[in-house]
Structure 1
Amino acid sequence: MSISFYIKNKKKFLGYEAVLNVESALTILDKELNTYNTSNIDINDLLLSPVSNYECLLIGEDKVSARGFELSYDNKDKNYAVRVFTPSSKEDWLLALDYIKALAKKFGSEIINERGEVYTIDNIDKFNYENDILFGINSISLKINDEVDKYIIFGINRVVTFDSGMIEKIYSSANPIDTFSNIVKEIQYLDAYSAHQQFYKNNEDHRIMGAYTLTENLRTILPYKPSVEFENSNIVKNDEISFWNIGFVVINGDENDPNSYQVAGNMNYEDFIKKLPINKYKFIDASYIMVEPLSKEEILELLK
């Protein structure tokens, strides 16, 4: 779910102005904006290339944005498109509207959204974004009640999983929009490492193992019950996973020396959750837990 706004590029005598490069797109506001879906691209190549080189750029402001917004350029229609997710945080919307206004001012264009509504730089601030947030929250609630037990949305740094309990918390609060916004935002900026899934296939029986790694003295976000995450769904399916495992890495020596990091052992993931002391983790949403840093001794105790 989302809503898009379109800003026409400036017409010139023999065509249109050159498409903004990424550096220009990130400096159009007097704020430090970042891209969040381009970590595998050389930063210099990224900044100097036109926005039109990319299907879309996920843009946000560090410590402010929860989900960010997408920027793209349509070479056929000569439009910049700003896409805001539904639901987004209040801060996401305020930043996106400022950005839309800056684009419209730069190119002397009006603003048209996908509903056909027309705005200008003088009235785009009046767009009823709060209604879009509430509509999005209600849509999640309906899906949880009618179709699924949990519903995932994507943030700039981490996914957030909602269940009926979290939705109830939002609706029972004094300000559902602020509560939703704070939940999603806080999860994005937790001071913790998000563990990545890995998969291994046994060459003899072709069974597939899903795996995570937990390192000594590192606060880590892990699933309470693992399943194949969306980003890996094109690699393997849930029903193809025979079992889930977790490996443990301890530090023997200087923590700044990569050679000091050594595998201490591994165990069945479900057994790990059962043995993990309850005071060593807390739920951050309906699916993920944040595990407090474990000492070498605590890790070795888990492995007994």
Structure 2
Amino acid sequence: MSIDVILTQKGLFKKPMPLEVILGKELAYGKMEGFRLIRGQLGETEFLAYHPEHIARGFSVIWSPEEKERIQLRALTPSTEAELRDFYDAVDRMVSYWNGRLEVDGAPMNADQFQAGFSEMVSFQQRALEDMCRNILAGMNGDLTLFSARWPLVVGKEEAYRFLEEPETFGQWLHEKQSIDAYYAAPLFFNGPVGILGRYVLTEEVRSIFPTQPSVPFGAIDPKTNQKPVCNDFAIALYSTTRGTVIGEIPYDRLLQKIPPEKVSQFDGGTVLLEPLSLSEMEALLDN
């Protein structure tokens, strides 16, 4: 679910929209590269805005520095009231700068109407969060992946129960999980002799987030078939910065069996956090 806003500029003498107007004085930005946010970089036509003091799901902006006609914004739901306020404030700044027209979820709307709907949207977000949690606990959706500002986060039954009982912890959780300095691991895919190979990379002395079960990420496409790749061969390549090369690889299911218990902790409903491993600790993973 999302809130989709299109802003068009009125008048004969049109001007581009400065990035500073979109972000205001507090928002930060980045571009998505795969499933990770590269902070401080802009995409060619799109970027993601977020507040570094309360990181949540972020909102996307389709924009370029030369654009004078149309800008699109999308905020995902459920999110937090603080991030929703950031989104509404950004739209307000942009409408004022362009004296523009608004279209919200496909329907024309004036700026005052849009702003007047903030409280109602906060209530909708709260209901969406509650529905999401109830569905997870009832087993209707299984664990749910939320595409968020820095990387995806998985809401499992433990998280769903907590958010249902204490909704205010949802925003705290989103911020906490995205405030750490870590590498979010996503697989690369290669054609092997008998099928597609999926490979994750674990780098020496790098704190990393890995899925408890490897899988083909949502949105991945095999360019040969234009379909989601079918991969049953997942492994982890161990990269040593000391040696500047891959020192070996291990089957994915051996990772959590071999890694020292003090080096791994549950991160969210579907991933674990691996503390930095030295070269000798990585070499130990290769021992039979």
TM-score by length of 1: 0.77
* In 2: Cα distance, 1:228 partner to 1:44 partner: 27
Q: Percent identity?
A: 21
Contact 1:89 / 1:184 at 8 angstroms: preserved in 2? no
* In 2: Cα distance, 1:296 partner to 1:261 partner: 11
Runs of 5+ unmatched residues, structure 1: 47-53, 253-259
Q: Residue type of the partner of 2:122?
A: E
* In 2: Cα distance, 1:181 partner to 1:156 partner: 12
Name the Cα RMSD after superposition. 3.0
Q: Residue type of the partner of 2:49?
A: I
Q: Does 1:134 align with 2:117?
A: no
Deviation at 1:197, TM superposition (A): 0.8
Q: Which residue of the partner structure matches residue 107 of structure 1?
A: 98
Rate the CA distance shift 1:6–1:265 in 2: closer, same or farther, 3 A.
closer
Q: Deviations over 1:247-271 (max 9, x none)?
A: 212344xxxxxxx323222211101
Deviation at 1:295, TM superposition (A): 1.6
Q: Which has the larger radius of gyration?
A: 1
> Which secondary structure state, in structure 2, belongs to the residue aligned with residue 37 of structure 1?
strand
Q: Does 1:228 align with 2:216?
A: yes
* In 2: Cα distance, 1:134 partner to 1:101 partner: 23
* In 2: Cα distance, 1:179 partner to 1:190 partner: 17
Q: Which residue of the partner structure matches residue 25 of structure 1?
A: 19
Deviation at 1:186, TM superposition (A): 2.1
Q: Residue type of the partner of 2:31?
A: Y
Alignment of structure 1 residues 60-209 onto 2, 5 Å: 60-72=50-62, 80-109=71-100, 113-114=104-105, 118=109, 120=111, 124=115, 127-128=118-119, 129-144=121-136, 145=138, 147-173=140-166, 176=167, 178-203=168-193, 206-209=194-197
Aligned residues: 271
Q: Which residue of the partner structure matches residue 215 of structure 1?
A: 203
Deviation at 1:118, TM superposition (A): 4.5
TM-score by length of 2: 0.80
Deviation at 1:188, TM superposition (A): 2.2
* In 1: Cα distance, 2:178 partner to 2:59 partner: 15
Runs of 5+ unmatched residues, structure 2: 64-68
Contact 2:207 / 2:275 at 8 angstroms: preserved in 1? yes
Q: Deviations over 1:233-283 (max 9, x none)?
A: 445746x2232111212344xxxxxxx323222211101211222221112
Deviation at 1:65, TM superposition (A): 3.4
* In 2: Cα distance, 1:270 partner to 1:95 partner: 41
Q: Deviations over 1:99-145 (max 9, x none)?
A: 11111222335755338585545981661232132132134235433
